[in-house]
Structure formats: structure tokens, C-alpha cells
Amino acid sequence: RQTVLVLQGGGALGAYQAGVYQALVEGGIEPDWVIGTSIGAINAALIAGNKPGDRLPRLQEFWDGVSRSSPFDEFFRMMVPSNIFANMGTVMRGIPGFFEPNPSAMFGVNREVGVENASYYTTDPLKRTLSNLVDFDYLNGRHTRLTVGAVNVNTSELKYFDTREMILSA
């Protein structure tokens, strides 16, 4: 019998997923297989890609990092009691450790760019974050199975990546 944890996408829902995982751990339950897509794939990698004792601290570090407000956001929040400036800041600066504006797309108006540069944002910061927070040797050591789903931007087809079938990296 396997314990499987399935985590969907949904942005901030990922913080809730981290709390659910914490409750499972506190109840003595560790998954044998973690499956995720979008933000759920990030959480899944943080869980499956670390030894059980390191999983909650890594999840906490990730969520602390991506939910931290900048001094700019805090200043404008005091001036205008709404999230409009914080939201504008996210659009303009991205979220540290997660995504940032892609200069190729921002300044590439009226010129062709490849698929890898067509997005307004780049997830290079997320790649660095995952490289720091996920133990890829452990992940690929067949301890806790990981399956993540992603869309191939060239074909629009869903593709699954599974540690039982391939070596995964950031």
C-alpha cells in the first residue's frame, strides 16, 4: 500500500499545501509518491527532493522567500490601504526567488524572439531557488517518487516527468 500526495496548481494555494504536508508529518504520515503540477510541482519537488527531516524547513524557506514584501511595498501599503502598489510592484519587479521580468520580452517590441524569450517573465530565479533547496542526488536516488506535469510550450501538450523513468534536475 502506498501513500500518494497529489498537489495541484493555484499560486497561493501552494502555501496551504505546505500546511497540509506539515499536518501529515505531525500525524506520522510521509508520502511514498508525490505528484504535482504548477505550484504543486514546486512543493512536490521540495518534499520528494529532501530527506524527511529537511522537508518542512525547505518548504518554510521557500514560502518565506516568495512571500516577503519589499520595503517599497511596505511604504506604499502605509500610504494607500490597498494592495494596488504591492501588485504593481510584483508586475514590475517579479517575486524574488520565483520570477522576474524578462528584458528580452519587455524590450523586444516589434522584433522576433524565440519561445524561450517570449514570456514577459523569466523563471531563472526559481531554477536557482530549487537548485539551492532541492537535493537532486536524493531526489534521483529513488527514495520518494516524484511525478510533475508541465505543458510543452511548443506543442501545448502536457508532459509528465517521473523520477522512476528519468533523472530530474532544476
The three cell numbers of residue 153 are 510550450
Tens-place pLDDT, residues 144-162: 999 999 988 788 899 999 9
Give whole-number Cα distances, 69 to 63, 90, 98, in Å.
Answer: 12, 10, 13
Residue 12 near residue 40 (C-beta atoms within 8 A):
no
Q: So where are the chain's domains?
A: 4-162
- Tell how far CA 33 is from the center of its chain: 18
- pLDDT tens, 6-61? 999 988 889 999 999 999 999 999 999 999 999 999 999 999 999 999 999 999 99
What's the CA gap between 48 and 100, in Å, rounded? 26
CA distance 90 to 77: 13
User: 3-state DSSP call for residue 99?
Assistant: strand
pLDDT at 2 over 90: yes
Judged by DSSP in three states, 14 sits in helix
pTM for the full predicted model: 0.85
